Structure 1
Amino acid sequence: MVSSTIILVFCLVTFAVIHSFLASLPFKRFIMQILGSRVETLFRPVYSLIALITILPLIYLLYKNPGPIFYIVPSPWRWFMVGGQLIGAIIGARGLMDAPHRFKISGQLSAPNTPEAGSLDIRGIYRWIRDPFLLSGLIIIWLTPFMTFNLLIIYILSTIYIYLGSLHVEKRLLSRFGDEYREYQKKVHRIIPHFGGDY
């Protein structure tokens, strides 16, 4: 069992390294030099496809080697958990739909506080939460209606990775939008939705 856990952790670390490298600004700058403006339409689907391909071995190995079972939530409670996971998926989808300008590579690579960087432009779900992807990921992970030893190890490491990724994204947004983002941080929580305020 120890060897299967080590292999699973290796698969997760490999995924995280590839995922982080492809999301890095130096790599995006390199791709922008090669593809020019076409990168805006090509990067997201290719990035998502690579993420899917690199996570599939981990999913397969978890399926084949789940480890000892800790619990299985019985009906009807499991369906409440699955419903919560669906809500988590919707939160993540809204995060993509409500801030397409944040994901434009040309804006990410531009100098801070320039017309190319754009404005923060708070809309949709971002009026209530700064990082819907962090919330979405945690909901989907921890509302799984069963738990095994290997799944728990992967979920703990994934939670750490998602959290650190969220901190990195916040740092990027601060660099890009400066005081505008600092004011936004004071008014809107990063992970706990807050239905009120100026946004």
Structure 2
Amino acid sequence: MSPVESALILVVYLACFAAVHSLMASLPFKRRAAKILGRRMDPWYPAIFSAFAFVMIAPLVYLVYLFPGDILYVAPSPWRWAMVAGQVLAGLLSIRAFIDALHRFKVPLQLSGPGAAEAKPLAPRGVYRWVRDPFLLSGFLIIWLTPFMTTNILILYAAVTVYLYLGSLHWERRLLAQFGDEYRTYQRRVPRMVPWRGRGWPPD
């Protein structure tokens, strides 16, 4: 298989994954699932969503293993270990971000508008006081701090970068639907991904 063909396979598979993943993350899909399944879906949907994403990502990882492409670089020590340490810290950031905002991931709360009886306040805490989307920041750090690079991995990472950014825009739209004006105020005060000096929550 030629390098162009292997790269095309990776991009097409990633596009299919992105389409399915985005569909399952969308509010219309969740509303339809809630209408069909009722309250039974409330505790299970996040777990099913995560498991499905893992199952779909596994073949992508295998494809990269089969068709890595030409080696572009391998970071020497000690830079290699510094990059790996950065990836570990980024992974811990993702875990912390999930813990700091559990209510953002509960489907019933996502489907309720800001005026609904079951709605909860935005209440930014932890890492969300400094960045709106720590998952975007951690995702970029995890992929671009990989201590080695090949042509197909570079193409894949470039496509993943675009998808993560577009996914962040979708995430913001969903949070606007969930929290309304409270989130708009939060957007004006807190940066999306990179912490800025003097920008944080609550406002001074």
Compute the displacement of 1:195 (Å): 6.3
Give how far 1:34 is off.
Answer: 2.9
Match of 2:191 in 1: 189
1:1-199 to structure 2, matched below 5 A, reads 1-194=3-196, 197-199=200-202
- Cα 1:66–1:198 change in 2 (3 A) is closer
TM-superposed deviation, 1:33: 2.0
Contact kept, 8 Å, 2:113 with 2:180, in 1: the verdict is no
8 Å CA contact 1:98, 1:125 repeated in 2 = yes
Q: State whether residues 129 and 190 of structure 1, in contact with CA within 8 Å, keep that contact through their aligned partners in structure 2.
A: yes
Residue 30 of structure 1: CA displacement?
1.9
Q: Which runs of 5+ in 1 are unaligned?
A: none
- Say if 1:32 and 1:185 are closer, same or farther in 2 by CA, change over 3 A: same
Query: Structure 1 stretches (4+) deviating beyond 6 angstroms?
Result: none
Q: Percent identity?
A: 54
RMSD (Å), alpha carbons: 1.4
Q: Secondary structure at the match of 1:41?
A: coil
How far does residue 75 in structure 1 lie from its aligned partner after superposition?
Answer: 1.2
CA separation of 1:115/1:81 partners in 2, compared to 1, >3 Å: closer, same or farther?
Answer: same
Q: Secondary structure at the match of 2:149?
A: strand
Corresponding residue pairs, total:
199
Counterpart contact for 1:113–1:176, Cα < 8 Å: no
Cα deviation for residue 59 of structure 1 reads 0.5
10-19 vs 24-33, greater mean Cα deviation: 24-33
Identify if the C-alpha distance between structure 1 residues 35 and 195 changes in structure 2 by more than 3 Å, giving closer, same or farther. Answer: farther
Query: Could you list the per-position Cα deviations for residues 132-184 of structure 1 after superposition, in whole angstroms to 9, with x for gaps in the alignment?
Result: 11001000010000111100111001000000110111122122222211111
Q: One-letter code of the match for 1:65?
A: F
| TM-score (ref. length: structure 2) | 0.92
Given the two structures, how large is their TM-score scaled by the length of structure 1? 0.94
Q: How far apart in 1 are the matches of 2:88 and 2:53?
A: 20
Gap change, CA 1:56 and 1:198, over 3 Å in 2: closer
The farther-off stretch of 36-45 and 52-61 is 36-45
CA displacement at 1:37 relative to structure 2: 2.4
Query: Take 1:3 and 1:145, find their aligned partners in 2: how far apart are those partners?
Result: 25
Give the distance between the partners of 2:5 and 2:201, measured in 1 at CA: 52
Question: For residues 157 and 17 of structure 2, what CA distance do their matches in structure 1 show?
Answer: 14
